[in-house]
C-alpha cells in the first residue's frame, strides 16, 4: 500500500463522502477519454493535463475500494474494461490529429497496448500470475502525458517508444506465463 500523503488525502475525502469506487472509475474514464478529443483538435498541452487528472482517478478508485472493503471481481471487471475505453479514446484522438506514416505508429502503439492487457487477462483467467513487464499501463500513460506536454512535434517519438515498449512487454508477459507451472 502506498503511504504518500498526496495519494491518500483525496482517498480519505472520497471515503468520508461515501463515494463509490465505481463512480471514481467512471469519472476517471470520462475525464481521461476527453483528452482524446483535445489531442484530436490539437490541444496537446490541455490534453496532457486532462489525461493526468483523469489518471489520478484510476489510482484513487482501487485504493478507495481496498480501504472501504469494497474490492469485488465485478469492480475489477468494470475498471479493466473502462481502462480500455480510456486508452482507445486517447489513441483515436491522436489518430485523428496526425496524418501520414505516424498513423501506423499510433495503430501499433494502440494494438500492442491492448495486447499487453489482453495477455494479462487471459493469463489470470487461466490461473497464471501475469503482472509486470516494462511498459505497463501506468508507464504508457506517463509517456502519453509527457508526449502531450512536449507537443505534437515530439509526441510521435513518445508513440514510437510506446509501440516498441508495449511489444516488448507483450513478449515479457508471454515469457512470464510460460515459465509458470500450473
DSSP 100-158: TTHHHHHHHHHHHHHHHHHHHHHHHHTT------SS-HHHHHHHHHHHHHH-HHHHHHH
pLDDT (tens digit per residue) in 30-48: 999 999 999 999 999 999 9
What is the model's pLDDT at position 54? 96
What percent of the chain is predicted at pLDDT more than 90? 92
Q: How far is CA 31 from CA 42, 57, 135, 157, in A?
A: 17, 9, 22, 24
pLDDT-derived band of residue 5, with 50, 70 and 90 as boundaries? low
Shared fold status for 1-97 and 100-182:
yes
CATH class of 1-97: mainly alpha
User: Does the pLDDT at position 1 exceed 60?
Assistant: no
pLDDT (0 to 100) of residue 181: 79
What confidence score (pLDDT) does residue 2 get?
A: 47
Catalytic annotation on 79? no
Could you report the per-residue pLDDT of 45-61, keeping only the tens digit for each? 999 999 999 999 998 99
Calculate helix-pair angle for 137-150, 152-178, nearest 10 degrees: 170
pLDDT of residue 167: 98
Residue that is written with C-alpha cell 516498441 in the block = 164
More confident residue, 149 or 59: 149
pLDDT tens-place string over residues 49-106: 999 999 999 989 999 999 999 999 999 999 999 999 999 999 999 999 999 999 999 9
Among residues 58, 61, 79, 83, the one annotated as catalytic is 83
Return the domain boundaries, the chain. Answer: 1-97, 100-182
Of all residues in the chain, what percent carry a pLDDT higher than 70? 96
Q: What CATH architecture is 100-182?
A: Up-down Bundle (1.20)
At 4, the pLDDT band (50, 70, 90 cuts) reads low
Cβ-contact 31, 54 below 8 angstroms: yes
Amino acid at each position: 500500500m502506498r503511504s504518500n500523503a498526496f495519494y491518500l488525502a483525496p482517498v480519505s475525502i472520497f471515503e468520508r463522502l461515501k463515494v463509490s469506487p465505481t463512480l471514481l472509475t467512471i469519472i476517471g474514464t470520462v475525464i481521461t477519454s476527453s483528452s482524446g478529443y483535445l489531442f484530436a483538435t490539437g490541444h496537446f498541452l490541455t490534453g496532457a493535463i486532462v489525461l493526468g487528472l483523469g489518471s489520478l482517478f484510476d489510482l484513487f478508485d482501487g485504493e478507495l475500494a481496498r480501504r472501504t472493503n469494497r474490492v469485488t471481481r465485478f469492480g475489477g471487471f468494470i475498471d479493466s474494461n473502462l481502462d480500455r475505453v480510456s486508452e482507445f479514446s486517447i489513441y483515436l484522438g491522436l489518430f485523428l490529429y496526425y496524418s501520414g506514416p505516424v498513423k501506423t505508429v499510433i495503430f501499433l502503439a494502440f494494438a500492442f497496448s491492448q495486447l499487453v492487457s489482453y495477455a494479462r487477462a487471459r493469463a489470470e483467467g487461466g490461473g497464471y500470475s501475469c503482472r509486470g513487464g516494462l511498459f505497463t499501463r501506468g508507464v504508457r500513460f506517463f509517456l502519453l502525458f509527457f508526449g502531450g506536454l512536449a507537443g505534437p512535434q515530439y509526441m510521435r517519438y513518445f508513440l514510437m517508444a510506446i509501440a516498441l515498449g508495449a511489444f516488448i512487454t507483450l513478449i515479457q508477459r508471454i515469457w512470464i506465463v510460460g515459465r509458470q507451472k500450473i
